[in-house]
């Protein structure tokens, strides 16, 4: 159908569209295309054609049930579609991926922007055969969209898990000696000093303490007696001496930064708990030496690579799922136009569907023109000077069928 093209931008549908269906004029031209041109010529804003195939009608009860189902499912599919779009733009960092891939005849798809897809919308009979019952078509679209959302949720969870782990590692590594992983720092210090590692024996163990830089002198002076009470007595050459359980001269500076210094200290196993308690009471930070749990630079790089691969795969899935969801959503709109037109205008299903893409001021003007042209269809309910933008008003208060299509930047 040769119809005027909508003026569209490259950044997506900045404004909402709406589809209008008016009854076929049996006293006028017998061709839908000719009637479309006649109606368009009387409007200040030129519409474009919106394809609605000749679907299976079924019974009146069936049409009414479909109308109720479509009202709910339309909103559900719209919500899922734009949720996927938001995820796509957030994860990819791009607002230029709102595209729809139409299946090609040779198996390769043709990618279109959502605005181009909407303007050139064609029913996909291979995916949604028009000879199937309406309820089956509606259910097929709903299942396809909800299944796509479930797949995305699972893949997003996998990506988010590794992303969160990376963020946690990065946050800790950027902190002070009081919070960041210190195993690699400790290992490096012992290697530099020709030692295998921290002292660990049946009676002795090594603790690591983050000491505030302002308290370094106090630490070096008091670390052997900081836990106060002596733990045992020892007789040396006839004299009784008190032992605190801390090895004298065992505390060495492992690393030093602006706010904190990292020290080791060798203590007896018997005093570990009381010594740690004393450290806490004196505002020293005990750092656990966990060499197996710290992420090395190589492991971090590998984790980052995994995250990038998962991100790229997720973006591809989001693009494909958005394409399928948006396409299914527009097919639902087409079904709604068909169902509502029959319920409003009766059989046979002869009506003229049109797509408008205008701002609110032009929308009000074109609706007033359409209202005047078709006021005879429902004069009591329609008020030309009392427009409402609510979804329900679009469904009930106009003398013609009208459905809004949310813009991707709305």
CA atoms within 13 A on the CB side of 120: 12
β pairing state of 204-212 and 260-268: antiparallel
SS3 sequence of 259-301: CEEEEEEEEEHHHHHHHHHHHHHCCCEEECCCCCCCCCHHHHH
H or E stretch at 20: strand 17-23
Structure tokens given for 72 = 């709910």
Q: At what angle do helices 60-92 and 134-173 cross, to 10 degrees?
A: 20
Integer Cα distance of 163 and 372 in angstroms: 57
| The pLDDT of residue 351 | 93
Q: What pLDDT is recorded for position 287?
A: 94
**How many whole angstroms separate alpha carbon 395 and alpha carbon 72?**
13
Distances (CA, A) of 332 to 51, 79, 282, 372, 403: 12, 13, 69, 29, 11
> According to the model, what pLDDT value does residue 298 have?
83
Q: Quick one: angle between helices 60-92 and 297-345, nearest 10?
A: 150
What is residue 305's DSSP assignment? Answer: H
End-to-end CA distance of the chain: 28
Tell me phi and psi for residue 159, to 5 degrees: -65, -40
The predicted pLDDT at position 256 comes to: 95
- pLDDT at residue 232, rounded to an integer: 46
Q: What share of the chain is helix, strand, coil (3-state, %, to 5)?
A: 45, 15, 35
Helix (H, G, I), strand (E, B) or coil at 211: strand
Prior bond of 330 cis (ω within 30°): no
Distance CA 202, CA 183 (A): 22
DSSP string for 221-247 = HHTTTTT-S--EEEEETTEEEEE-SB-
pLDDT at residue number 357: 87
Q: Give the pLDDT means over successive 10-residue stretches in the chain (410 positions).
A: 39 70 79 87 91 93 94 96 95 90 65 91 94 96 96 93 87 82 90 92 94 95 75 47 76 95 94 91 91 76 92 95 96 96 90 90 89 76 43 60 84
CA distances from 284 to 35, 160, 262, 329, 408 (A): 85, 35, 10, 61, 55
Helix axes 134-173, 297-345, angle to 10 degrees: 150
Secondary structure in 3-state letters for 151-181: HHHHHHHHHHHHHHHHHHHHHHHCCCCCCCC
Q: What is the pLDDT of residue 342?
A: 94
Short-list 285, 222, 276, 283, CA closest to 248: 222
CB 151 within 8 A of CB 324: no
């Amino acid at each position: 159908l040769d119809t005027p093209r909508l003026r569209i931008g490259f950044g997506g549908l900045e404004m909402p569209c709406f589809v209008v269906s008016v009854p076929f004029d049996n006293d006028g031209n017998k061709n839908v295309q000719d009637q479309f041109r006649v109606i368009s010529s009387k409007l200040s804003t030129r519409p474009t054609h919106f394809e609605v195939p000749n679907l299976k009608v079924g019974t009146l009860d069936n049409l009414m049930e479909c109308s109720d189902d479509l009202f709910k499912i339309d909103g559900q599919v719209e919500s899922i579609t734009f949720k996927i779009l938001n995820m796509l733009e957030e994860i990819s960092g791009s607002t230029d991926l709102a595209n729809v891939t139409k299946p090609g005849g040779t198996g390769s798809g043709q990618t279109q922007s959502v605005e181009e897809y909407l303007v050139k919308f064609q029913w996909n009979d291979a995916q949604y055969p028009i000879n199937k019952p309406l309820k089956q078509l509606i259910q097929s679209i709903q299942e396809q969209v909800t299944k796509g959302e479930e797949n995305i949720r699972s893949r997003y969870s996998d990506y988010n898990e590794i992303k969160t782990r990376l963020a946690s590692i990065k946050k800790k590594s950027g902190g002070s000696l009081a919070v960041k992983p210190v195993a690699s720092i400790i290992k490096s210090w012992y290697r530099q000093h020709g030692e295998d590692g921290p002292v660990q024996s049946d009676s002795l163990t090594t603790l690591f303490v983050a000491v505030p830089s302002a308290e370094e002198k106090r630490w070096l002076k008091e670390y052997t007696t900081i836990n106060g009470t002596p733990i045992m007595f020892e007789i040396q050459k006839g004299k009784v001496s008190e032992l605190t359980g801390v090895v004298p001269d065992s505390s060495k500076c492992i690393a030093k930064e602006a706010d904190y210094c990292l020290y080791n200290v060798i203590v007896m196993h018997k005093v570990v708990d009381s010594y740690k308690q004393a450290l806490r009471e004196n505002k020293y930070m005990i750092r656990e030496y966990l060499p197996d749990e710290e992420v090395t630079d190589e492991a971090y790089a590998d984790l980052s690579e995994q995250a990038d691969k998962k991100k790229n795969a997720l973006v591809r899935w989001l693009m494909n799922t958005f394409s399928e969801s948006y396409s299914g959503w527009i097919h639902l709109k087409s079904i709604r136009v068909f169902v509502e037109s029959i319920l409003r205008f009766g059989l046979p299903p002869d009506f003229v569907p049109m797509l408008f893409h205008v701002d609110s001021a032009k929308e009000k003007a074109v609706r007033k023109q359409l209202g005047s042209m078709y006021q005879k269809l429902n004069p009591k309910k329609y008020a030309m000077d009392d427009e409402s933008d609510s979804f329900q008003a679009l469904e009930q208060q106009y003398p013609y069928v009208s459905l809004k299509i949310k813009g991707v930047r709305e």
